[in-house]
């Protein structure tokens, strides 16, 4: 990437108390109207506070399937799907189905899964970190292998791993996009995360709370080690945001940002938020996901779309 013109701005829904589909759709439609590039949601069944009695869980890919039919333009995806939640053959089929339903607007974010309490609450096994990474690698090999296999191939796709086995699948799922949807991988891990991303990712997503410059440098080295052009994959960051036309609006919206996230959040007037986000272009980020906690504050989305988005579209992105 010698340098890209403009930072793609996307909305990432992380509701404090979960959401009904009608709430998710309203936010996605507001995102589309405001001119954002994409709408993504987390793949969680519990909030960060697992004892929140108001949390309403929804399945990530079921709701994305609904949005595939109820929106027209925006890119749709998960940031990130937990590899511990679904078997790889099923996940490959689900994502391909939603991609077809959307006319090729899906992006596939996947990670190891990290929230132990959530797994216990819903009956998912939660292996140790090393095994979760092993499973993630096997899942990616299976999912991309299935998507690449020609339909009706005599041999089909087979895979024999430690954790998963696929036997002669001659009718693999067919995504709308060719060869398959963009794959997003990310996190703060210094070794396996960048190595896996260098091999499979169309986009590397930096984890919240880490040193962004170091994460980008580590990913660049991981690409170089396997002979991949480090400028090829996109690079993205997640940024909690509280933008307001008045100090009172800024204060009200920033109250919704958890203390853990405040140190990495973009908070202030539209000009201040635009300046903070534009600084990411100097670090090589060409895509920013705005972490939205209050999903009912649609005026927030409209304000950012009208007064921040145009500045980001003109921001120069520095290549690695």
Mean pLDDT for the stretch of residues 293-318: 93
The DSSP bridge pattern shows strands 287-292 and 8-13 to be parallel
Q: Specify the CATH number for the domain of residue 222.
A: 3.20.20.30
Lowest mean pLDDT of 106-110, 250-254, 258-262, 275-279, name the range.
258-262
| pLDDT tens-place string over residues 117-174 | 999 999 999 999 999 999 999 999 999 999 999 987 789 999 999 999 999 999 999 9
To the nearest whole percent, how much of the chain has pLDDT over 90? 82
Alpha helices per DSSP H over 184-262: 192-200, 212-225, 247-254, 259-262
> Which alpha helices (DSSP H) does 39-87 contain, by range?
60-70
Q: Specify the pLDDT at position 83.
A: 96
pLDDT score for 136: 97
Q: How many domains does the chain have?
A: 1
Distance of CA 108 to the CA centre of its chain: 7
293 part of a folded domain: yes
| 14 domain residue, yes or no | yes
Would residue 141 count as lying in a domain? no
Question: Percentage of residues in the chain with pLDDT exceeding 70?
Answer: 99
- 131 assigned to some structural domain: no
pLDDT confidence of residue 3 = 61
Is 1 inside a domain boundary?
no
Read off the pLDDT of residues 16-75 as tens digits, 9 standing for 90 and up: 778 999 999 999 999 999 999 999 999 999 887 767 778 889 999 999 999 999 999 999
Residue labelled with tokens 């996009």: 177
278 in any annotated domain? yes
| Domain housing 279 | 8-110+184-313
């Amino acid at each position: 990437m010698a340098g890209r013109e403009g930072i793609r701005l996307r909305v990432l829904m992380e509701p404090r108390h979960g959401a009904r589909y009608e709430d998710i759709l309203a936010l996605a439609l507001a995102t589309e109207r405001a001119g954002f590039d994409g709408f993504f949601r987390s793949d969680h069944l519990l909030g960060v506070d697992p004892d929140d009695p108001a949390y309403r869980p929804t399945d990530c890919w079921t709701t994305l399937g609904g949005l595939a039919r109820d929106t027209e333009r925006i890119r749709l995806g998960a940031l990130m799907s937990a590899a511990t939640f679904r078997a790889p053959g099923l996940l490959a089929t689900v994502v391909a189905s939603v991609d077809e339903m959307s006319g090729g607007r899906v992006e596939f974010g996947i990670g190891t899964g990290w929230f132990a309490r959530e797994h216990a609450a819903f009956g998912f096994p939660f292996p140790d970190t090393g095994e979760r990474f092993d499973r993630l690698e096997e899942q990616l090999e299976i999912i991309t292998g299935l998507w690449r296999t020609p339909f009706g191939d005599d041999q089909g796709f087979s895979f024999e791993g430690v954790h998963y086995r696929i036997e002669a699948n001659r009718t693999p799922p067919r995504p709308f996009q060719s060869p398959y949807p963009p794959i997003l991988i990310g996190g703060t891990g210094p070794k396996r995360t960048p190595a896996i991303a260098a091999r499979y990712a169309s986009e590397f997503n930096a984890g919240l709370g880490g040193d962004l410059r170091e994460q980008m440098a580590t990913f660049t080295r991981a690409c170089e080690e396997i002979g991949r052009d480090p400028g090829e994959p996109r690079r993205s960051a997640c940024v909690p945001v509280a933008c307001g036309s008045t100090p009172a609006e800024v204060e009200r919206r920033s109250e919704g940002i958890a203390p853990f996230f405040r140190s990495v959040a973009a908070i202030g007037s539209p000009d201040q938020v635009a300046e903070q986000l534009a600084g990411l272009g100097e670090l090589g980020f060409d895509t920013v996901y705005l972490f939205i906690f209050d999903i009912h504050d649609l005026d927030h989305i409209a304000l950012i779309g009208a007064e921040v988005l145009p500045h980001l579209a003109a921001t120069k992105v520095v290549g690695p």
